[in-house]
Amino acid sequence: MATSNSVLFDMFLYFILVVKLCLLFVIVLRSNAKRKNDKKAVEKYNNLKEILHETFTICMGFLLVIVFSPINYPGEVCVFGETKIFIFIFGILSILGIMQIFIEKAKNYSPV
C-alpha cells in the first residue's frame, strides 16, 4: 500500500490535524478559565489538554512508523539508510512511551 495514494493514510493525517487543532482550542479555553479563576474548568481543560497531547504524540509515532518503515517501504522516503531506521525506531519508542503512560494512568484511575 503506497501511503501517497491511500485514503486511510489521508484520513489519518486529517485526524492528526484535527487533534492538534482541538489541542490548541483547549489551550485557549484553559487560558480563559485561568483568567476567570475557574479552578474546576482549569482542571477539566488540563486533563483534556493532556489527553489530546498524548493522542497527538502517539499518532505522530504511528505516522513515523508508517512513513519510515524499512520493512514495508524499503525505498527512499526523504532520508537514506541509518537515518531512516533511526526515525522508524524513534516512532516505535514514542508509541511505547505513550502507551506506558496510558497504562499507568489506567491503573491509578478512580472515577470521581
Is 1 part of a structural domain of the chain?
Answer: no
Is 46 part of a structural domain of the chain?
Answer: yes
Alpha helices in 1-112 (DSSP H): 7-35, 39-67, 81-108
Fill in the amino acid letter for 58: I
Output the nine-digit C-alpha cell for 31.
487560558
For residue 55, give every residue at least 6 positions away whose Cβ sits within 8 Å of its Cβ, in sequence order, or none.
Answer: 19
More confident residue, 97 or 37: 37
- Please count the structural domains in the chain: 1
| Structural domain of 38 | 7-108
Is 21 part of a structural domain of the chain?
Answer: yes
Is 93 part of a structural domain of the chain?
Answer: yes
Residue 4 has pLDDT above 70, yes or no: no
Rounded CA-CA distance 75/31 in Å is 45
Is 2 part of a structural domain of the chain?
Answer: no
- For 61-95, write each residue's pLDDT tens digit: 888 888 777 777 666 666 666 666 766 777 787 77
